[in-house]
Amino acid sequence: MPQYSELNSTITLERAIQELRQREEEKNDTPIKMSAISPTFERHDAIHVLFGCGTTLEDEIAAHIWMLFGTTAKINEMHQAVAHREHRNVLANIGHLKLIGIWITCLPRILSIIIKCSRMKKRLALEELEKLKKLPLCEVRRQYGIVV
C-alpha cells in the first residue's frame, strides 16, 4: 500500500482513494466491492489512505483505531462500515479465537496509533470529506498533523 509521502504534493486525496480502490479491485478484494455499495465506505477508504493503512486484517484494525481516535467519526459510523453481510462473513471465516489473537498482537500498534492521534493538531473532520478530497494528500496530513 503506497503511503504517498509528503514529497508527493500533487496527488489529491480523491485520486489516492481511487488508486486504492483500483488496486483492491484488481486483487478482487471483498472490502472494495462493499465500498462501491455504501457511501460509508467513502470515509473508510479515506481513512485507509490518509493514515497509510493497507487492507490486511491488521491494517483494517489499525484503520478502525485511527477512525475512532483521529477523526470526528462517531462509533456508530464505524459500526456501519463493518455491518455488511460480506464483512461479517469474512470475520466469521477467520474465527473468534484467531481474531482475538490478531487483536492482541496488534496492541503495540494500537497504542502507537492512539499516541499519534493525541499528537495531531485536531481530529480529521470527516464531515468535510468532499472538500478535503480536492486537496493534495500531503496538505490534508499537514493541516491535521497526521504522521503516518
At 115-143, the pLDDT tens digits run 999 999 999 999 999 999 999 999 999 99
Of 26-30, 102-106, 135-139, the range with the lowest mean pLDDT is 26-30
Q: How high is the pLDDT of residue 22?
A: 87
HSE-CB for 22 with a 13 A CA cutoff: 7
| Domain positions in the chain | 13-144
Q: What local confidence, expressed as pLDDT, does residue 142 receive?
A: 93
Give the span between the Cα atoms of 13 and 15, in whole angstroms.
5
Query: 112 Cβ partners below 8 Å, 6+ apart?
Result: none
What is residue 8's three-state secondary structure? Answer: coil
pLDDT tens for each residue of 74-86? 887 766 666 655 5
